[in-house]
């Protein structure tokens, strides 16, 4: 009976989140189209300043209008579902509805706050790319928040959350698989929290192919949902699966040919909340396994830069790695589906390692 109630609490929010995401997508699409919230033009230069000739060749579909800010579907469905379940549990208090309230100070407040901050900062960046906003603020912003500004926002959140974990939640250790808890000082723990938050933020380079980022993040949050369920952290599990429901609603309109892209408001909301959830479940050191596609994608960019600097030639045809596969002749749909397959295998492997370690 207890298991049944736990599964009910975990899975019902996911279903609601998916349905709400579908319901709000159509009016959101209309609103974005009305305000011409289109994606940025394709990248013209690489990170090191060279002409991005291959990238421009791979993304020569500028005539196809693609909306940005599709990530609103994900976080909006999460917050709307959260609000509905919170109201129902308090307005109609019964033993059953009380189980629906998954808002708890020690489990879900922090990831929800992180998601909100990411959604706002990323949303501001997305809006400042839109011509109507860019024209008014171009002299100050230059068509979007600069990378240092976004990085500062992410680092500030990492600092705040790290301090909260250490001083409020009394967390001062990191679980190392097959070893145990590694106790670290307050400063080191906070610094590590900041590094993880920034590292996850850097994985935003995974966006750029229809359906790619959504499928990968759905696998990652599914894995952490099962990990939280295994740890009996039911509220975190409910939140993780609710996020998955929102992502699936987003993917309904993001699979090829995509109507909109996730953009910064979605990527930042997901990566910042994921950072907090990985620490709350004490499973941050499993991220390299569970989020391996994100790790290798970000790593491919770093390796490409280092290779060009020290060896004066490219390691990959083009970076990030998924564009390398495109350049080798893989169709976009092949890249997406194979990344999805690898992502869910990594998620399953991560869950197995958590159980046995």
**Alpha-carbon torsion 30, 33, 35, 37, what sign?**
positive
Q: Reduce the DSSP state of residue 257 to 3 states and report it.
A: coil
Run of H or E including 342: helix 332-356
| The pLDDT value given to residue 87 | 87
Task: Find the domain containing 195 and state its range.
Answer: 2-356
d(CA 114, CA 201): 12
| The pLDDT value given to residue 140 | 47
Return the structure tokens found at 135: 């024209």
pLDDT tens-digit map of 309-321: 888 889 889 889 8
Position 43 pLDDT exceeds 70: no
Neighbours of 27 (CB within 10 A): 9
pLDDT tens-digit map of 179-224: 999 988 778 999 999 999 999 988 888 877 899 999 999 999 999 9
Position 231 pLDDT exceeds 90: yes
Question: 306-339 as b/e, with b when 16 or more CB fall inside 10 Å?
Answer: eebeeeeeeebebbbbbbbbbeeeeebeebbeeb
| The pLDDT value given to residue 116 | 96
Cis peptide before 320 (omega within 30 of 0): yes
Cis peptide before 7 (omega within 30 of 0): no
Indicate the number of domains in the chain. 1
pLDDT tens-digit map of 286-305: 999 999 999 999 999 889 99
CA dist 224 → 162, 186, 259, 294 (Å)? 20, 25, 28, 15
- Averaged confidence pLDDT in the chain: 86
Q: Reduce the DSSP state of residue 34 to 3 states and report it.
A: helix
pTM (2 d.p.): 0.90
| The pLDDT value given to residue 272 | 95
| The pLDDT value given to residue 294 | 92
pLDDT tens-digit map of 120-138: 999 998 888 876 565 555 4
Return the structure tokens found at 57: 């060749």
Length reported for the chain: 357
Position 96 pLDDT exceeds 80: no
Q: Reduce the DSSP state of residue 238 to 3 states and report it.
A: helix
Position 45 pLDDT exceeds 50: no
- Residue 95 confidence class, pLDDT cut points 50, 70, 90: confident
Neighbours of 42 (CB within 10 A): 15
Q: How many alpha carbons fall within 13 Å on the CB side of residue 47? A: 15
Percent of residues, the chain, with pLDDT higher than 70? 87
Position 30 pLDDT exceeds 90: yes
Position 61 pLDDT exceeds 70: no
Run of H or E including 176: strand 173-176
pLDDT tens-digit map of 12-24: 999 999 999 999 9
> What is the mean pLDDT of the segment spanning 269-277?
96
User: Which of these ranges, 167-171, 206-210, 270-274, 322-326, has the smallest mean pLDDT?
Assistant: 206-210
């Amino acid at each position: 009976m207890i298991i049944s109630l736990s599964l009910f609490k975990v899975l019902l929010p996911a279903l609601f989140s998916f349905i709400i995401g579908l319901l709000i997508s159509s009016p959101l699409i209309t609103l974005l189209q009305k305000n011409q919230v289109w994606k940025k033009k394709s990248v013209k230069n690489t990170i090191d300043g060279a002409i991005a000739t291959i990238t421009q060749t791979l993304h020569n579909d500028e005539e196809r209008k693609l909306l940005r800010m599709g990530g609103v579907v994900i976080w909006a469905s999460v917050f709307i579902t959260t609000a509905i379940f919170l109201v129902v549990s308090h307005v109609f208090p019964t033993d059953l509805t009380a189980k629906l309230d998954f808002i708890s100070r020690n489990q879900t407040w922090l990831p929800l706050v992180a998601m909100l901050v990411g959604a706002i900062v990323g949303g501001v960046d997305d809006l400042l790319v839109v011509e109507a906003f860019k024209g008014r603020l171009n002299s100050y912003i230059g068509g979007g928040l600069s990378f240092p500004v976004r990085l500062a926002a992410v680092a500030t959140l990492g600092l705040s959350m790290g301090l909260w974990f250490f001083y409020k939640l009394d967390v001062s250790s990191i679980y190392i698989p097959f070893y145990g808890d590694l106790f670290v000082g307050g400063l080191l723990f906070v610094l590590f929290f900041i590094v993880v938050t920034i590292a996850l933020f850097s994985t935003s380079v995974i966006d750029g192919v229809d359906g790619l980022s959504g499928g990968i993040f759905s696998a990652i949050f599914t894995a952490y949902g099962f990990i939280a369920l295994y740890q009996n952290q039911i509220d975190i599990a409910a939140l993780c699966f609710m996020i998955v429901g929102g992502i699936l609603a987003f993917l309904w309109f993001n699979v090829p040919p995509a109507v909109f892209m996730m953009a910064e408001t979605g990527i930042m909301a997901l990566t910042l909340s994921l950072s907090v959830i990985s620490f709350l479940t004490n499973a941050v050191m499993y991220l390299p396994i569970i989020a391996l596609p994100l790790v290798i994608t970000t790593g491919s960019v770093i390796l490409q830069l280092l290779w060009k600097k020290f060896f004066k030639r490219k390691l990959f045809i083009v970076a990030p790695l998924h564009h390398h596969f495109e350049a080798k002749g893989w169709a976009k749909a092949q890249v997406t589906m194979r990344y999805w397959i690898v992502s869910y295998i990594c998620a399953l492997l991560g869950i197995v390692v958590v159980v046995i370690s």
